[in-house]
Amino acid sequence: MRPHVTLLDEALLARITGEAITLLGETGARVQAPAAQALLADHGATVADGIARFPEPMLRAALATAPPRFHLYDRAGAPAVEYGGERSHFDPGSSCVNVLDPDTRAQRPAMAADLVRLVQVAEGLPAYAAQSTAMVCDEIPQEIADLYRLFLVLWYSGKPVVTGAFSAGTTRAMLALLEAECGGAAALRARPRAVFDVCPVPPLLWSDYAGESLILLARAGVPAEIVSVPLAGATAPVTLAGAVVQHTAECLAGLAIHQHAAPGAPVVWGGAPAIFDMRTGNAPMGAIETAMLNAACSQVGRSFGLPTHGYLCGSDAKVVDAQAGLETGMAALTGVLAGISMISGAGMLDFLACHSAEKLVLDAEAIAFAQRFGRGIEARGESLALAMFARTGRSGEFLKLKETRNLFREEQYLPSPVIDRASLRGWQDAGALDAFARARARADQLVAEYRRPALAPEREAAMLTLMRAEAARVGLTTLPGT
Amino acid sequence: MHEELFAAMRQSVIDGDPDEVRVLAQRALALGIDPLEAINRGFVPGVTHVGEQFGLGEMFLPDLVLGGEAMKAAVAVLEPELARRGAQRESLGTVVLGTVRGDIHEIGKTLVQTMLSASGFQVHDLGVDVPVERFVGAVRELKPHVVGMSALLTTTMPGQRLVIEALEREGLRQQVKVIVGGAPVSQGWATEIGADGYGEDAMRAVTLVKALLGREAPAA
């Protein structure tokens, strides 16, 4: 059996769904995009003064057409991430503005070179099934900041990408870039490399650009990840169950827009729910209640038969310290046990404002631990222990058994040298390095070993042509980071 | 005189109970108590207490917000009588607040608005997604002592710089103090874009504005 955590019993799950449907039917959601309003009205919603009220049948219809699973593809066109399968996948957190400088261990604005280093590190870490458009690069004009980070990630990575646009206009440009990279719109639809996060604004608002983006993505056949972000106690009810109701309602409203634009288009029941810290007014991503919210929101999505996403493994610590480790480790385990398809957030510090490649390296170990836990305990062979005891008796010489040599790699996760399991003397002889220093060494090693995945010259040329035109439009004469 | 009533007023703000606040304010009017005295000796000490306790970590954001709302309820009851007497609550200064263009986050900005109002400032809240021109127009027309800009998104933070640049272009920068806030905003950012100050939270925003304007808290 695979171990699993559920926080909502059947009765509570039914109440959450019921209240969310009631909320959308009575209070309704604000939907700003005229195209989304028209679409909803055409399919049974009542739209007045920018508020859409959704009858239950139209929500059920959207749930019925949303596919239960789909794949993201790597650069070579092979399926690399299964959304909606058994396995939880992880990607780095996205859109921070600062990096933790590995030399000074202080935060500074993120530059294109920092994003490139992070992508190269993530590329070499199997814990990350996908990359993310992790940083907003300081030297890139705001108008193309979202497009540019996707360009750098596509340029340096062969893995699928979790991304998102800051406006409907750049959603189009980002889709064009993905088409250039994979050989056209049909190829992108058939083997999407990226999933786009699209966020409603809490409570119950689908903004102009978010509504338009959902429609654009649905019609392009590029997966959309609906990332509802209720803050329990501030922009959502303070109770965890109440915040899950709001998350459910916001996702259902987005799903209705998306599926009625293009029934069957790939979509994810995503989220970045968090509690609201009543002392500081921050949204602690490392709080245990934040992890609980993610697990519960994902459970609701799974109950509808949808692929899910959550935002975990970011820490609120300012440096890569014990707090960062404990928050990340607990969240990774929660995410895997909750069966969330894609878990974003690793590598991040300071309420998702700061990335650290060194934390990303350490988090890969936390993720591997959690994945190992998620595989559970298996029975191998006809006897569990008797056959081995038949050969060793009471001698304790299990190291001599072939089974030991053959099975230990399946039973045990072998951590990288980032995890210290040496003797005290061994640790001292290796330089007495703390976890950050060990992670720094591993990150540097991964960068040194990195080789850029090949891309057909004509596709590279198409990407460069598009990016040079976009860069020139905003006054950039070079493409930083390339 | 009326010490018991003033103590009850203070407590009603601490409790964040607008119904009780209104009852007590009405009682003050019925007793012929100077509304300014009721505000400054009755209700303001409640806000001050909540602010102090918040600073000590003993009270929390819901206490601040409910206390601020209670204070507003008190002023709403007492203001007509103040006006009738030709008096007005001494304003510590005028502040224009808004969340910058492209950003519709409201909580932080509204907290600052609540606490500044409760502390005796006259606050004009421009709302969210406020274009540069509206900030500039409000500075030109309302002549505030302070303009405050909130941004919760890393992608909208640059809007704070744009407003400062526009104020400079229009020759208005010298007549107003500029403060910035929001989750991704820091003192470093404030310094970089030429703002006059940055407050980590709503209470520190009040302290900051008082310091920038050289104001003392109203007499309790």
Can you give the pLDDT of all 482 residues of chain A as single tens digits?
A: 889 999 999 999 999 999 999 999 999 999 999 999 999 999 999 999 999 999 999 999 999 999 999 999 999 999 999 999 999 999 999 989 899 999 999 999 999 999 999 999 999 999 999 999 999 999 999 889 999 999 999 999 999 999 999 888 899 999 999 999 999 999 999 999 999 999 999 999 999 999 999 999 999 999 999 999 999 999 999 999 999 999 999 999 999 999 999 999 999 999 999 999 998 888 999 999 999 999 999 999 999 999 999 999 999 999 999 999 999 999 999 999 999 999 999 999 999 999 999 999 999 999 999 999 999 999 998 999 999 999 999 999 999 999 999 999 999 999 999 999 999 999 999 999 999 999 999 999 999 999 999 999 999 999 999 999 999 999 999 999 99
The answer to whether A41 touches A16, Cβ cutoff 8 Å, is no
- pTM, full prediction: 0.92
Which two tokens mark A119?
A: 């992508």
Bigger pLDDT: B73 vs B105:
B73
Q: From the candidates A30, A96, A97, A204, which should be mutated to test the interface with B, based on the most B CB atoms within 10 A? A: A97
Tell me how far apart the terminal alpha carbons of chain A are, to the nearest angstrom: 47
| B123 Cβ under 8 Å from any chain A Cβ | no
Closest-CA residue of chain A to B51: A279
Distance CA A271, CA B141 (A): 42
A57: CB partners within 8 A, 6+ apart: A44
Distance CA B96, CA B176 (A): 10
CB contact under 8 A, B184 and A278: no
The answer to whether A92 touches A130, Cβ cutoff 8 Å, is no
Distance CA A360, CA A373 (A): 20
Any idea of the CA torsion for A126, A131, A136, A137, to the nearest 10 degrees? 70
Residues of A in contact with B104 (CB under 8 A): 201, 205, 207
Give residue A196's Cα distance to chain centre. 10
**Cis geometry, peptide bond prior to residue B80 (ω within 30 degrees of 0):** no
Give the distance from residue A279's alpha carbon to the nearest chain B alpha carbon, in angstroms.
5
For A353, the closest of B184, B201, B202 (CB atoms) is B184
Q: Tally the C-alpha atoms within 13 A of residue A220's C-alpha that lie toward its C-beta.
A: 27
| B55 Cβ under 8 Å from any chain A Cβ | no
The pLDDT of residue B119: 83
pLDDT at B86 over 90: no
Residues B2-54 pLDDT 10s: 999 999 999 999 999 999 999 999 999 999 999 999 999 999 999 989 988 98
Which two tokens mark A403?
A: 């089974």
CB contact under 8 A, A279 and B111: no
Distance CA B37, CA A381 (A): 85
For residue A439, give the 3-state DSSP assignment: helix
Distance CA A146, CA A246 (A): 28
For B107, the closest of A95, A234, A279 (CB atoms) is A234
CB contact under 8 A, A97 and B184: yes
Q: Each residue of B34-62: b (16+ CB within 10 Å) or e?
A: ebbebbbbbbbbbbbbbbebbeeeebbbe
The answer to whether B154 touches A96, Cβ cutoff 8 Å, is yes
> By C-alpha distance, which of A300, A298, A219, A324 is closest to A265?
A219
The pLDDT of residue B216: 60
| B32 Cβ under 8 Å from any chain A Cβ | no
Residues B168-219 pLDDT 10s: 999 999 999 999 999 888 898 999 999 999 988 888 899 999 999 987 643 4
The answer to whether A154 touches A174, Cβ cutoff 8 Å, is no
The pLDDT of residue A237: 98
Question: Quick one: CA dihedral A366, A369, A372, A377, positive or negative?
Answer: negative
CATH entry 3.40.190.10 includes domain A64-375: no
Q: Tally the C-alpha atoms within 13 A of residue A449's C-alpha that lie toward its C-beta.
A: 11
CB contact under 8 A, B154 and A96: yes
Give the distance from residue A245's alpha carbon to the nearest chain B alpha carbon, in angstroms.
21
Render A117-171 in DSSP notation, one character per residue.
HHHHHHHT-TT-SSEE--B--TTS-GGGHHHHHHHHHHHH--S-EEEE-SSHHHH
For A281, the closest of B104, B108, B184 (CB atoms) is B108
For residue B123, give the 3-state DSSP assignment: strand
The pLDDT of residue B217: 46
Rg (CA), chain A: 23
Distance CA B92, CA A30 (A): 38
Helix-then-strand count for chain A, H and E: 17, 20
The pLDDT of residue A251: 98
> By C-alpha distance, which of A249, A240, A314, A242 is closest to A275?
A240
The pLDDT of residue B49: 93
Give the distance from residue B8's alpha carbon to the nearest chain A alpha carbon, in angstroms.
26
Give the distance from residue B52's alpha carbon to the nearest chain A alpha carbon, in angstroms.
13
Q: How many CB pairs under 8 A join A and B?
A: 40
How far apart, in Å, are the Cα atoms of A325 and each of A277, A320, A435, A438, B29? Answer: 20, 7, 10, 14, 59
Angle of the A357-375 helix axis to the A112-123 helix axis, nearest 10: 30
Place of tokens 């929660």: A334
For B104, the closest of A96, A142, A201 (CB atoms) is A201
Q: Which residues of A touch B (CB under 8 A)?
A: 95-97, 136, 142, 145-146, 166, 201, 205, 207, 231, 233-235, 276, 278-283, 351, 353
Q: Tally the C-alpha atoms within 13 A of residue B107's C-alpha that lie toward its C-beta.
A: 25
Distance CA A140, CA A137 (A): 6
CB contact under 8 A, B154 and A234: no
Distance CA B29, CA B182 (A): 40
pLDDT at B114 over 90: no
Amino acid sitting at position B149: M
CB contact under 8 A, A233 and B62: yes
The domain ranges of chain A are 64-375, 387-416
DSSP state for residue A238 in the 8-state scheme: S
Which two tokens mark A319?
A: 């440096």
Closest-CA residue of chain A to B199: A280
